[in-house]
Amino acid sequence: MKKKKNIIQAATRLFAEQGYDGTTTLQIAGEAGVTEPLIYYHFKGKEELFSHILEVTFHEYFSRLDSLEKMTGTQFKRIEALLDLHFRFVKEMPDEIYMGVSTCPARLRDPKHACSKITQHQSERLMAYLRDCLEKGIRSGEFYKVPVSETVEFLIALIYGLMRQRGLHLLEKEGMQEVTVDFCRRSLVKGR
């Protein structure tokens, strides 16, 4: 199992550094200290290895999202926790996020590809979570009466944009999390 783990770690690092198309199984084998046939023993090929990395990464992401869905407290605290999850995830798994945000957009048109399936599932989960927070927050008087569907779409676009910017190392400014949370608080919470 150690060799399989080495293959996955090497592939993740190389996909992040060189891109999916710029990385060969021979390079992955060399970086992992294994033979190329061993990669094919564990995976059908580079595409299956890439999909495996995405699936493992997003399994962890969805586990963290599951924990958030069980949270109690104010609806804004739940939204703040969701934002925190994304900022921490990018910080803790930079290669996996870089690999995903740099490679997946070109594969989203293929509904059978792991990128497409994962992105769709992520979008559905985020929509449900945010819709629940907004509807409960509006009903309780915690939030301004905002258009729920449009606000959910805006918040998802904000989250995806921040993940993409930070994942691709395009936006590395300190304090972005605080500014994002403050912007959302001022936009949603009554009597802040």
Note the pLDDT of residue 192: 63
Parent domain of 62: 51-188
178 and 102 in a common domain: yes
CATH of the domain at 103: 1.10.357.10
138 and 181 in a common domain: yes
The answer to whether the beta carbons of residues 95 and 12 sit under 8 Å apart is yes
129 and 57 in a common domain: yes
Note the pLDDT of residue 80: 97
**Weakly modelled stretches of the chain, pLDDT under 50:** none
Q: pLDDT tens digits for 40-61?
A: 999 999 999 999 999 999 999 9
Unique residue bearing structure tokens 């972005």: 176
Note the pLDDT of residue 169: 74
Threshold 0.75, pTM exceeds: yes
71 and 27 in a common domain: no
Note the pLDDT of residue 124: 97
DSSP line for 132-170? HHHHHHHHHTSB----HHHHHHHHHHHHHHHHHHHHTTS
Note the pLDDT of residue 170: 72
